[in-house]
Chains A and B, each alone.
Chain A
């Protein structure tokens, strides 16, 4: 097919994309932190991901030094897997959906850094396992009896599906916790993503049967009460999940549980 030739042939435009990237060799190796600059050929419909791919093909800095190519996480390249989250011009987002034409229309320099709230593994790769551990803490699942045939699930109104579906699109990408002033290695705050999961599963008829266990998992230290209401999370969520609403719903429910829970015991 011809599509290959169209965008992979040497582009005659001569236009270059200018990148400035923060690098680090490994966890704890703060002494290796450095900035390197690269100029790579511009391609039509280019995004930051494809700019980083160009470095792999010719890993030479603007200073003329051959270096190891920058490493970053990538998988789907269509903003649905959450892998390539990083700071681009100071804003946390996915590299795949950061189109060069819109962030640097006049060939401006693009600054790229790893997320700051997680330990750096190398260059732009960070360890986000804390977020996945939080999903265990809040029991973000339905307590299924088994995968054998037990007939359909509970009926659900269109309205309820329309409420649950957007909450269920969280990619565990880390944008919300990166932007959250309360979330850091010095605090145990669980963060907006996991709290949203509490709301999501408590909305489902079968999930609601274990509602209290989920609420109790976020009632103590590091729980929902630690939210500082900065509302940054909802601003940066690439899937536009109503995180602030989710946090207030969970806060309200936990308060109710704290005030009246003992009555039901």
Chain B
């Protein structure tokens, strides 16, 4: 039986849900919760307007088909499943692809300054893994514009009063309360193992405090900082995911890390140059002569090797990211044909990404945002010179395992409390921190979509979960919160105090660099089991040495040093999940590539990797999971639902290969060869 009031607890407090993370997924979840009359506490590491979603550049996919190409959500579904090498559960993908046009229209209504056609309609451009113009965009800062639109709507909810069942305002209670500059520490679980809130730390006063909530939603983004430098913001350490993983949440497909083919090398960050550069006509090449000394712009057309166009004539420069990254890596690392640098006398790990053949006014209208970044950070004018780029860690397809409920049409059933639920009841995950939607490789411009769609699915799921709770979490005895706060405080005090008097201690920042170098070298584009063994041994070593870390800071205010020690400890935990998962998967699929096992093996590996924390340094891999929502048991296995698009061999040599089934051009032979694990 549900609690008497959905608005107030029996103790008279306003019932709230806690959303952690204020990027696109978190903010969309907040908006959906508010629309369902569920008040929210929104916790974020940074002011939400500065979340990592702001970095997304190229656009958001939706099969609106305004160019008359015959695009449809069915094609979008197929290309997403195919692009993900069939590791993604298809009902959630179908839900997302079907909802995409409506999502772009909603953003349009929110005032996002999307680029327009001459007729005043939304303009769409091409992205990787498709031949259709499916990507809506606002210059080359689409993520920023989308984040701002949702941030504005959430700010509006911040000024809106909570009302009771009779529509009467509750004085002083706003629909959204923001807690910015707060770091998530732990979920709080009740005796039955349900999530009833979380503990977080104010990063200014360093105060540790509990947040009681009928549910907690983690929308805390990716974990690319585990790889040292990446295209991610420095806040994307994966610390919240690692924390709840250690509390029993399952982590799925951790080994699937996307390496983006085109980023600018840098000392602190590898800055992304969006796929939209290629979507708008950019071409990747290296000089045919590996000792070519002339500047890129002076190398004549016939002396250039347009490697992607040569290797993949069907999709050319717009092959999916895993394929483009491998091709560039092959060219630079194995063939040593990267751009020659006369100063160092070496072939650098760089290829050209060239837009100089395009009209400058056209480029300014569509790509100014990224070309500015190149100009500012590389110091070279990309309108006149080919850019120099190299692959960089970009996105985690894996993440916290989340459930979904399938409806009769094979789509995701909106309003089911199972959607986006982790295996800890009351704990939800959405956005890059979850593992849903992208399988073994994410297509470009599907991330903004999956974040917003995820929020649209997660919000109603959480509302339905909380409204059917027998008792509000806020009515739990105060000892629940005191215990949780005490434990978190003790953890923090340990970090502050440990090794303070010792000599020969470790520095957390330097250790992070070691971790990053190891992961970047051996757990990205190409993976070898012997090297992965060494990575795991290195992680053992770091697990030992991290105990010897001394916080560089003992200040009672804004103590970033101690905070970083916590993040580092958590990064080590997730690094192991990633590396061990990679070791276990003896096949090649999407972003996971083992030269010793170059083929996909559906018979053994068309399944989700499910990792559970056993103890420090030990992972338990399972084939099935059990959990319960409102007392009803849910049993799931690691089987992937591929009932909507049958698995087939994934290849991009032939134009249209990725959409062949939806457009009725599937060669029956190709379907056979892959389903059986070729």
Q: A169 touching B520 by the CB < 8 A rule?
A: no
Known: A71-B558, A141-B152. A155 touches B111 (CB 8 A): no
Residue B276 CB within 8 A of the other chain: no
Cβ of A128: which chain B residues have Cβ within 8 Å of it? Answer: 47
Contact of A47 among B234, B267, B524, B561 (CB under 8 A): B267
How many Å from the CB of B121 to the closest CB on chain A? Answer: 7
Interface centre among A73, A97, A153 (most CB of B within 10 A): A153
Residues of A within 8 A of B436 (CB): none
User: Is there a chain B Cβ closer than 8 Å to A247's Cβ?
Assistant: no
Name the distance in Å between A82's Cβ and chain B's nearest Cβ: 6
A170 to chain B, nearest CB (A): 8
B169 an interface residue at 8 Å Cβ cutoff?
Answer: no
Interchain CB contact (< 8 A) of B333 among A2, A99, A140, A156 = A2
Instruction: Please indicate the chain A residues that have their CB under 8 angstroms from the CB of B229 in the complex.
Output: 4
List chain A residues, Cβ under 8 A from B391.
Answer: 1
Q: Which of A75, A80, A147, A156 contacts B456 (CB 8 A)?
A: A147
Which residues, 124 to 163 on A, are CB-close (under 8 Å) to B?
A: 125, 128, 132, 135-136, 139-144, 146-147, 149-153, 155-158, 161-162
- Looking at chain A's contact residues, the main secondary structure is loop
Check A168–B552 contact: CB distance below 8 A. no
* A156–B120 CB distance below 8 A: yes
CB-CB contacts below 8 Å: B267-303 with A:
267-272
Give the contact stretch, choosing among A49-57, A215-223, A227-235, A255-263: A49-57
If A71-B558, A75-B50, A157-B116 touch, does A150 touch B268 (CB 8 Å cutoff)?
no
Instruction: Check: B106 CB closer than 8 A to any chain A CB.
Output: yes
CB of A207 within 8 Å of the partner chain: yes
| Residue of A43, A83, A142 touching B50 (CB-CB under 8 A) | A83
Instruction: Say yes or no: A165 contacts B138, CB within 8 Å.
Output: yes
Give every chain A residue within 8 A of B144 (Cβ-Cβ): 80, 169, 171
CA distance A142 to B507 in the complex (A): 48
A80 touches B507 (CB 8 A): no
A144 to B509, CA, bound (A): 45
Whether B516 sits at the interface, judged by CB under 8 Å, is: yes
> Complex formed: what's the CA distance from A49 to B266 in Å?
11
Chain A residues lying within 8 Å of B54, measured Cβ to Cβ, are: 75-76, 80-81
- Chain B, residues 158-179, CB within 8 Å of chain A (1/0): the string is 1100000000000000000000
Given contacts A136-B155, A201-B111, contact A99 B379 (CB under 8 A): yes
Q: Quick one: closest B residue to A68, CB to CB?
A: B553
Query: Smallest CB-CB separation from B231: which chain A residue?
Result: A78
Given the known interface contacts A141-B152, A158-B118, the answer about A4 and B267 at a Cβ–Cβ threshold of 8 Å is no
Looking at the complex, which one of A1, A49, A135 makes contact with B155 (CB distance below 8 Å)?
A135
- Do A77 and B234 contact each other (CB < 8 Å), given the known contacts A147-B32, A152-B122, A158-B116? yes
Give the residues in chain B near A225, CB-CB below 8 Å: none
* CB-contact partner of A57 in B31, B118, B513, under 8 A: B513
Q: Which A residues contact B (CB, under 8 angstroms)?
A: 1-8, 25-26, 43-47, 49-50, 53, 56-59, 68-69, 71, 73-83, 96-97, 99, 101-102, 121-123, 125, 128, 132, 135-136, 139-144, 146-147, 149-153, 155-158, 161-162, 164-165, 168-169, 171-172, 201, 204, 206-207
Which B residues form the contact surface with A (CB < 8 A)? Answer: 28, 31-32, 35, 46-47, 49-52, 54-55, 102, 105-106, 108-111, 113-122, 138-139, 141, 144-145, 148, 152-153, 155-156, 158-159, 204, 228-229, 233-235, 265-272, 329, 333, 349, 365, 369, 373, 376-379, 390-392, 456, 507, 509-510, 513, 516-517, 520-521, 524-525, 552-555, 557-558, 560-561, 564
